[in-house]
Amino acid sequence: MKRIGIALVSAFAVAALAASPAFAAKKAAHKVSCKEIKAAVDSGKTPDEVSKDMNVSAKTVKNCTTPSTKHHKSTHKAS
Residues 21, 36, 69: CA angle, nearest 5 degrees? 110
| Domain boundaries of the chain, sorted by first residue | 1-25, 31-68
**Most distant pair of Cα atoms in the chain: their distance:** 81
pLDDT for the residue 60: 92
**Count of positions (residues) in the chain:** 79
pLDDT for the residue 1: 74
CA dihedral over 9, 10, 15, 16, signed as positive or negative: positive
pLDDT mean by block of 10 residues, the chain; 79 residues = 74 65 58 92 94 92 83 55
Model confidence, pTM: 0.50
What distance in Å separates the CA atoms of residue 37 and residue 60, rounded to the nearest whole number? 9
